[in-house]
Structure 1
Amino acid sequence: MKILFVGFALVIGVLDCAKSDADPVRTIDLHKGENYDKEFKGQDVKISLLEISDSRCPENVQCVWAGEARVGVQVEIGSTVNDSLGLCLDCTVTPGLADAKTYTVDGQSFRIVLTEVNPYPKDTTAETIEQKAVFELQ
């Protein structure tokens, strides 16, 4: 019985070490005007969603171009980073915009990735639904 307990404790210890070595990733959902304000990798991180602009072609509609979804965010990391930027999904028309931005603070990398803008447009006659942007903080 003691051998079983020691073996179990060893497996739990190994799994716990493996989990702590992995880079953390947080998924953040924000509506326009909302903020994410929490500690991440030992730094205070604040992400504010300032705007969403969505020109993607609605489902079941034939469009000349696919469109793009853009967001404007304010990013603060510790006392070092204070940046306003635009992130974009499916950007082909707006040069210089990407879906991610990486910052380095005190030797640590912080990457903010725009992964989704929801809901996806349905058709041109549907009523406006409040959209949200989904980010990964890596």
Structure 2
Amino acid sequence: MALTLSKDKLPVTLTATNINDSRCPANVQCVWQGLASADVTFKGSEEERTIKTCTGGCKVMSIPDSETVILNGISYEVKLKDVTNSENKIVAFITLTKTN
């Protein structure tokens, strides 16, 4: 899945890959809560950067639950809010929040 954003004619493409969900299912007793993760690649006009995003038991695996990226000179906080899996389709919900 890829999404292209454009501000002032400077496009940025976001691609989510390696989406995984090992969180404990509803109504099941688990030893630990598990986590969901995804690799997010940001590709601008001059640079490309991939970060791992995570929600759930991220600290156990030493994965940050948010990261800051700079896209075309603007700083954003990136968070993986959720991962859903229905009808054999896995979807990552990622938020970008402007920080400056």
- Report TM bin, short chain: 0.7 to 0.9
- C-alpha spacing 1:76/1:106, structure 2 compared with 1 (3 Å): closer
Tell me which of 8, 14, 19 is aligned to 1:52: 19
- What's the secondary structure of 1:57's corresponding residue? coil
Tell me if the contact between 1:69 and 1:117 (Cα under 8 Å) persists in the aligned partners.
yes
**Structure showing greater Rg:** 1
CA distance in 1, matches of 2:44, 2:79: 15
Tell me which of 33, 42, 63 is aligned to 1:66: 33
Residue by residue over 1:78-99, the C-alpha shift from the partner in whole angstroms, topping out at 9 and shown as x without a partner, is 31x311221100113211x223
In structure 1, the residue matched to 2:78 is 112
- C-alpha spacing 1:106/1:55, structure 2 compared with 1 (3 Å): closer
CA distance in 2, matches of 1:89, 1:62: 19
Gaps of 5+ in 1: 1-33, 120-126
- Verify: 1:136 aligned to 2:95, yes or no: yes
Tell me the matched-pair count: 96
Task: For CA contacts below 8 A with separation 6 or more, give which structure has more relative contact order.
Answer: 1
Tell me which of 32, 37, 44 is aligned to 2:4: 37
- C-alpha spacing 1:49/1:105, structure 2 compared with 1 (3 Å): closer
Tell me the TM-score normalized by structure 2. Answer: 0.79
Tell me the TM-score normalized by structure 1. Answer: 0.59
Which amino acid in 2 is paired with 1:134? Answer: F
Gaps of 5+ in 2: none
Identity in percent = 28
Which amino acid in 1 is paired with 2:2? Answer: N
Which amino acid in 2 is paired with 1:132? Answer: V
Residue 105 of structure 1: how far off its partner (Å):
4.8
The two structures, once aligned, show a CA RMSD in angstroms of 2.3
- What's the secondary structure of 2:88's corresponding residue? coil
Tell me if the contact between 2:37 and 2:54 (Cα under 8 Å) persists in the aligned partners.
yes
